[in-house]
Amino acid sequence: MKITAIETHVCHARMRNWIFVKVLTDQPGLWGWGEATLEWHTRAVVGAIEDISHLLVGEDPRRVEHLWQMMYRQHFWHGNGIVRGTAISGIDLSLWDIVGKALGVPCHQLWGGPVRDYVRLYCHLGGGRMEDFYETAPDDAKRFADLARQAVADGFTAFKSMAVPETMPLEGLKPVRYAEACVAAMREAVGDGIDIMVDCHARPSPAMGMRFARAMEPYGLYFFEEPCWPESIDSIADIQRAVGTPIATGERLISQHAFRELLEKRACRVLQPDITHCGGLSEARRIAAMAEAYRVALAPHNPQGPVSTAASLELGFATPSYIICESVHGDVPWRADVVSEGFTVEKEGRLVRPSSRPGLGVEIDEAEVKKHPFEQEVLQRTFYPDGSVGDW
């Protein structure tokens, strides 16, 4: 069996351009789907996949680990930057899909079979509708509570919010009180039986991240995400040591080496590798094995498209430390039109039952994808009140 070509199919989905990767083989009807979505870097990733494809065409797609080593280590530059890491990830997902299809089993069967009966989904407030999740004003506690109630009415038992405002490296009490009010309103709205997560988007400085994390303590968050820059691993570790709330981080980190440092420094209780950035399912499984050794939970980052979700679920069904799957369902109304999925979701509780289809169990409708060609993503820029550059 040989790889004959690697294609990219770009599908504009408002906030993101989904980049679907299709690895074609010389076997009639056998191909693999992957995803390499990277907001605001679509053309760069498509180009990186084209560059890497010269290494792989003519090779046996079932030698996934061997090809992963080639993609990561050959052509001199290691694949640990975000663009190349995302390109490698998209191809790696496609290769696993091919292996599963060639053997007639779902990917989770390749990795030892199911370790659980279902995977729980969590949503973003607003279901991933860009305006609800990112643009609800941090002083609008009532709106946060309304969206929280809606998530529960939609069947979710866990949801994520962005209740921490953008702040300069040091600010006073006002933004901390805003965040507290929003989280208190959400807790009041949904009760103690629902899991609430707060994502800081790594906006705060270490000092502000510490203040927000301490303020969140009474509300029993399921986890508190990216309290400061991913480069500041020591500061994330300081925050984790100071609070009982589990700290989550990792969505911007590439490769096992970055995650090893997080674990060695006991910086967090939840690892969030993004399967479409960190080095694909191959690298995510190595990261999961390290997390297992430290008894740290795994909750992969997954706000992208449907192949990313299918890959995250396949990993979840084969990985004991996997706790929950991030999901987006309201980003574009035609999401279900571009994909056919093998798994099923129970509306009550948003529990996913495993796919029995081979590989990742997804098929992309290329004609539907063509209806949504590339468009430049909406600019998301932040400046502080004094005009200096902030973190979005």
Smallest gap from residue 176 Cβ to Mg ion (A): 20
Smallest gap from residue 226 Cβ to Mg ion (A): 5
- d(Cα 378, Cα 16) in Å, to the nearest integer? 8
- 205 with 169: CB under 8 angstroms? yes
The token pair that represents 139 in the structure block:
């002083």
Measured CA angle at 220 (ends 188, 178), to 5 deg: 60
Handedness of CA 250, 252, 256, 261 (dihedral sign): negative
Nearest to Mg ion of 35, 199 (CB atom): 199
Nearest to Mg ion of 180, 199 (CB atom): 199
Smallest gap from residue 249 Cβ to Mg ion (A): 8
Say which of 9, 75, 78, 201 is annotated catalytic. Answer: 201
- d(Cα 261, Cα 349) in Å, to the nearest integer? 35
Residues within window 219-238 making contact with Mg ion, judged by CB under 5 A: none
Residues within window 158-217 making contact with Mg ion, judged by CB under 5 A: 199
Nearest to Mg ion of 199, 341 (CB atom): 199
The token pair that represents 46 in the structure block:
């498509």
Handedness of CA 150, 154, 159, 162 (dihedral sign): negative
Residue 372 is among the residues annotated as catalytic for this protein: no
Smallest gap from residue 196 Cβ to Mg ion (A): 15
Residue 9 is among the residues annotated as catalytic for this protein: no
Q: What is the DSSP string of 251-284?
A: TT--HHHHHHHHHHTT--SEE--BTTTTTHHHHH
Say which of 12, 41, 301, 372 is annotated catalytic. Answer: 301
- The β-bridge relationship of strands 119-124 and 31-35 is unpaired
b/e burial code for range 11-50 (CB count within 10 A of at least 16 → b): bbbebbbbbbbbbbbeeeebbbbbbbbbeebbeebbebbe
Smallest gap from residue 298 Cβ to Mg ion (A): 15
Size of the site for Mg ion (CB under 5 A): 1
Nearest to Mg ion of 199, 331 (CB atom): 199
Residue sitting closest to Mg ion (CB): 199
Contacts of residue 255, Cβ cutoff 8 Å, sequence gap at least 6: 72, 79, 80, 85, 278, 279, 283
Is 97 near Mg ion (CB under 5 A)? Answer: no
Nearest to Mg ion of 3, 270 (CB atom): 270
Residues within window 14-73 making contact with Mg ion, judged by CB under 5 A: none
What is the binding site for Mg ion (CB under 5 A)? 199
Catalytic site positions: 201, 301
